[in-house]
Amino acid sequence: MTTAGLQNLVTREAWLEKTLKQIPAGSRILDAGAGELQYKRFCTHLSYVSQDLAKYDGRGDDTGLQMGSWDQSTLDIISDITSVLSG
């Protein structure tokens, strides 16, 4: 049994937390594709803005990692980020 994927999550989140904490306090950050804002907890010293398309409902097609429920009610911006950037 391989656990590389599980260990990668821990490694990735440790790197992300360390990197975000190096951003100067009060800086504004956009979390594009924020989903359920799982990394907001690393940004308490920042002016955090969340964005997502907010179309995922958690159900999916029973393959992969569907969540069953998905709460995007606290997003700051609901939009297609590619439309905003290109238009």
Retrieve residue 7's tokens: 């260990």
Residue 17 phi/psi, 5° resolution? -60, -45
Find the length of the chain. Answer: 87
pLDDT, tens digit, 9 for 90 and up, residues 14-73: 999 999 999 999 999 999 999 899 999 999 999 999 999 887 666 666 666 666 677 889
**Residue 85's pLDDT band (cuts 50, 70, 90):** low
Angstrom distance (rounded) from CA 23 to CA 42: 11
Angstrom distance (rounded) from CA 63 to CA 82: 26
pTM of the entire predicted model = 0.73
Residues 6+ apart with CB under 8 A from 51: 30, 31, 32, 33, 34, 75, 76, 77, 78, 79, 81
Angstrom distance (rounded) from CA 38 to CA 6: 17
